[in-house]
């Protein structure tokens, strides 16, 4: 691949149901990805998200501390996005979760790792806990391929023990590199896939862009992941950027400051505070005090079967928009964008006739430095950019921002 053109240095990974041949259009490389639903465990979506949130609040202890031997309680992934990644001279591919909330890349949860002539066993132990899962094993180095891009000597873990990752082979972590600190024995930090693509001249900018579209089926072709640039065909208007937050622990992740208001009256749901944007979280989670306000203004009741807030049809008719105020911009979640896709109600253990909200409690009150998580149900409505080089996060509207697909 020629490196003189930024277009040629941009990799787009197109979300798809199954692996397809890599397609090059307008000098951009498209590699299929898939939104994956674990039907057996999606009923735990709130439990899983809240467990992950509590781990994320402790980036240097619970979430990324080397584990002693033994097992921990973990629920399987409910819904997530995966990409096919090649490792080694043999080109063996692995199905990896795409996670902006972690930074280690590893395999071995499903398919066993197959070493090749280019594989180097470092002998260093590695271990990461995600709250909703964990892995431990040994760190390796090898050639990693993403479409037509090749990373030399990428460091990654090979799991000897993994919990909570049914149906996938591991994770490709695209969070900030600081999250890899103390995860590998004797190593300060492990350069991420994005860092190495940039340092090896494969991409012209050290950033990742994410495009999702709302989905109403359990497996759907609905987005793109872009390394090194943005795809203007996937968003409308301009991308608006905001600096990452300096408030800890949100500052360890793709953290931003935001406030949330409700309806035409602008009633405050969550005062300006720090939180994160996370593809590894399904729902939009907010501090308990904000959750109580949101429940009050919507009139919703907690559903025993799913744990989610439930609306009657008349309450949904009166539901107003929710506004996420980030930097100088306000990002609207319309009433339809605030509800779970009704065609997937049965997948979460709900009734097909009910209306469930995708906003819920993070499990702790405001003031802890990570008071909200904008999960992928938010990202399905906005194009997002995670810019390491400029320490900022960007958002833009898409053709699905105001869609009524749910």
Are 43 and 188 members of one domain?
yes
Q: Is 225 among the domain residues? A: no
Q: What residues pair up with 29 in beta bridges, in sequence order?
A: 11, 24
- Backbone conformation region of residue 186, classed left if phi is above 0, alpha if psi is from -120 to 50, else beta: left
Is residue 289 within 8 Å of 280, Cβ to Cβ? Answer: no
pLDDT at 220: 56
Are 341 and 282 members of one domain?
yes
Are 127 and 261 members of one domain?
no
Task: Write the CB contacts of 4 (distance below 8 Å, at least 6 apart in sequence).
Answer: none
Q: Is 224 among the domain residues? A: no
Cα-based torsion angle of the residue sequence 84, 55, 190, 204 in order, rounded to the nearest 10 degrees: 60
pLDDT at 6: 36
Convert the pLDDT of each residue in 271-302 to its tens digit.
Answer: 999 999 999 899 999 999 999 999 999 999 99
pLDDT at 217: 61
Are 244 and 357 members of one domain?
yes
Are 175 and 300 members of one domain?
no
Last residue of a domain, one of 212, 242, 261: 212
Q: What residues pair up with 345 in beta bridges, in sequence order?
A: none
Q: Is 406 among the domain residues? A: no
Are 206 and 283 members of one domain?
no
Q: Is 220 among the domain residues? A: no
Q: Is 278 among the domain residues? A: yes
Q: Is 23 among the domain residues? A: yes
pLDDT at 34: 66
| Residues of the chain scoring pLDDT < 70 | 1-43, 60-79, 216-222
Are 171 and 314 members of one domain?
no
- Tokens 């490389």 correspond to what residue? 29
- How many DSSP H helices and E strands does the chain contain? 5, 26
Q: Whole domain around residue 303: which residue ranges?
A: 233-397
Convert the pLDDT of each residue in 10-57 to its tens digit.
Answer: 445 544 434 444 444 444 444 555 666 654 445 588 998 999 999 999
Are 53 and 190 members of one domain?
yes
Q: Is 162 among the domain residues? A: yes
pLDDT at 347: 83
From CA 196, how far away is CA 149, in angstroms rounded?
A: 11
Last residue of a domain, one of 212, 241, 257: 212
Catalytic residue list contains 220: no
Task: Write the CB contacts of 298 (distance below 8 Å, at least 6 apart in sequence).
Answer: 309, 311, 315, 319, 357
pLDDT at 44: 80
Are 161 and 243 members of one domain?
no
Are 148 and 184 members of one domain?
yes
* Residue of 49, 80, 99, 257 marked active site: 99
pLDDT at 43: 57
CA distances from 102 to 47, 105, 171, 280, 351 (A): 19, 9, 9, 9, 34
Catalytic residue list contains 182: no
* Residue of 278, 303, 354, 371 marked active site: 278
Q: What residues pair up with 79 in beta bridges, in sequence order?
A: 37
Q: Is 373 among the domain residues? A: yes
Are 177 and 277 members of one domain?
no
How many CA atoms lie less than 13 Å away from 16 in the CB half-sphere? 13
Are 272 and 193 members of one domain?
no
Domain count, the chain: 2
pLDDT at 308: 97
pLDDT at 81: 77
CB atoms near residue 377 (< 10 Å): 24
- Tokens 């999606």 correspond to what residue? 42
Q: The domain spanning residue 329 has which CATH number?
A: 2.40.70.10
């Amino acid at each position: 691949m020629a490196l003189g053109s930024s277009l040629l240095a941009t990799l787009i990974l197109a979300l798809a149901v199954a692996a397809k041949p890599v397609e090059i259009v307008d000098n951009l490389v498209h590699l299929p990805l898939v939104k994956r639903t674990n039907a057996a465990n999606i009923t735990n979506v709130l439990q899983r998200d809240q467990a992950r949130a509590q781990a994320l609040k402790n980036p240097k202890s619970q979430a990324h501390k080397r584990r002693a031997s033994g097992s921990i309680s973990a629920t399987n992934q409910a819904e997530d996005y995966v990409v096919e990644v090649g490792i080694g001279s043999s080109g063996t591919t692995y199905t990896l979760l795409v996670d902006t909330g972690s930074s280690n890349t590893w395999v071995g949860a499903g398919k066993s790792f197959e070493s090749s002539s280019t594989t180097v066993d470092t002998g260093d132990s590695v271990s990461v806990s995600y709250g909703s899962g964990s892995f431990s094993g040994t760190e390796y180095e090898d050639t990693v391929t993403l479409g037509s891009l090749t990373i030399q000597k990428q460091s990654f873990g090979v799991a000897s023990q993994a919990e909570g990752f049914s149906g996938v082979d591991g994770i490709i972590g695209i969070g900030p590199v600081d999250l890899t600190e103390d995860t590998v024995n004797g190593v300060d930090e492990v350069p991420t896939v994005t860092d190495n693509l940039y340092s090896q001249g494969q991409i012209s900018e050290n950033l990742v862009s994410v495009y999702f579209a709302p989905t109403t089926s359990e497996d759907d072709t609905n987005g793109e992941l872009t390394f090194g640039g943005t795809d203007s065909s996937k968003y409308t208007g301009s991308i608006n950027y905001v600096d990452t937050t300096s408030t800890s622990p949100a500052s360890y992740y793709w953290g931003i400051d935001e406030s949330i208001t409700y309806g035409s009256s602008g009633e405050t749901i969550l005062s300006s505070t720090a939180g994160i944007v996370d593809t590894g979280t399904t729902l939009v989670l907010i501090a308990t005090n904000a959750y109580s306000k949101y429940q009050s203004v919507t009139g919703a009741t907690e559903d025993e079967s799913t744990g989610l807030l439930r609306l009657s049809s008349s309450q949904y008719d009166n539901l107003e928009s929710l506004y996420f105020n980030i930097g100088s911009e306000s990002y609207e979640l319309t009433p339809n964008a605030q509800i779970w896709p009704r065609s997937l109600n049965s997948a979460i253990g709900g009734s097909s006739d009910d209306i469930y909200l995708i906003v819920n409690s993070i499990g702790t009150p405001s003031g802890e430095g990570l008071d909200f998580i904008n999960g992928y149900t938010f990202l399905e409505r906005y194009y997002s950019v995670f810019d390491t080089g400029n320490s900022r996060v960007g958002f833009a509207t898409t053709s699905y921002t105001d869609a009524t697909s749910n």
